[in-house]
Amino acid sequence: MTVNNSIYPTIEIEGDSKTVFVTTMDKETLFHEEVVESESIRVDFSKVFP
Protein backbone atom coordinates (compact mmCIF):
# COMPACT_ATOMS: atom_id res chain seq x y z
CA MET A 1 0.00 0.00 0.00
CA THR A 2 1.29 3.45 -0.86
CA VAL A 3 0.08 6.25 1.35
CA ASN A 4 -0.24 9.53 -0.55
CA ASN A 5 -1.40 12.33 1.67
CA SER A 6 -0.35 15.90 2.35
CA ILE A 7 -0.21 15.10 6.07
CA TYR A 8 2.07 12.32 7.27
CA PRO A 9 0.18 9.15 8.16
CA THR A 10 0.27 7.58 11.59
CA ILE A 11 1.45 3.97 11.53
CA GLU A 12 0.69 1.92 14.64
CA ILE A 13 1.91 -1.66 15.06
CA GLU A 14 0.06 -4.18 17.23
CA GLY A 15 2.53 -7.01 17.68
CA ASP A 16 0.29 -9.61 19.31
CA SER A 17 -2.14 -9.72 16.39
CA LYS A 18 0.51 -8.78 13.77
CA THR A 19 -1.69 -5.91 12.63
CA VAL A 20 -0.55 -2.59 11.18
CA PHE A 21 -2.95 0.36 11.49
CA VAL A 22 -2.34 3.19 9.01
CA THR A 23 -4.31 6.34 9.79
CA THR A 24 -4.53 9.32 7.43
CA MET A 25 -6.83 12.33 7.38
CA ASP A 26 -9.23 10.37 5.16
CA LYS A 27 -9.39 6.92 6.71
CA GLU A 28 -7.91 4.17 8.88
CA THR A 29 -6.74 0.97 7.17
CA LEU A 30 -5.65 -2.37 8.69
CA PHE A 31 -2.92 -4.54 7.20
CA HIS A 32 -1.48 -7.94 8.04
CA GLU A 33 2.07 -8.71 6.89
CA GLU A 34 2.06 -6.34 3.90
CA VAL A 35 4.31 -3.65 2.45
CA VAL A 36 3.44 -0.09 3.52
CA GLU A 37 5.09 2.86 1.77
CA SER A 38 4.90 6.58 2.54
CA GLU A 39 7.12 9.51 1.59
CA SER A 40 9.71 7.12 0.05
CA ILE A 41 9.90 5.03 3.25
CA ARG A 42 8.99 1.40 2.58
CA VAL A 43 8.45 -1.22 5.29
CA ASP A 44 7.72 -4.87 4.52
CA PHE A 45 5.82 -6.00 7.61
CA SER A 46 5.89 -9.63 6.45
CA LYS A 47 9.60 -9.53 7.34
CA VAL A 48 9.04 -7.65 10.61
CA PHE A 49 6.63 -10.21 12.06
CA PRO A 50 8.24 -13.64 12.43
Rounded average pLDDT per 10-residue block, the chain, 50 residues? 62 84 85 82 83
Q: What is the DSSP string of 7-40?
A: SPPEEEEETTTTEEEEE-SS-EEEESS-EEEETT
- DSSP at 47: H
Distances (CA, A) of 46 to 8, 24, 31: 22, 22, 10
How many domains does one find in the chain?
A: 1
Query: Could you tell me the residue range of the domain that residue 27 belongs to?
Result: 2-48
What pairs with residue 14 in β-bridges? 19
Note the pLDDT of residue 14.
86
pTM equals: 0.63
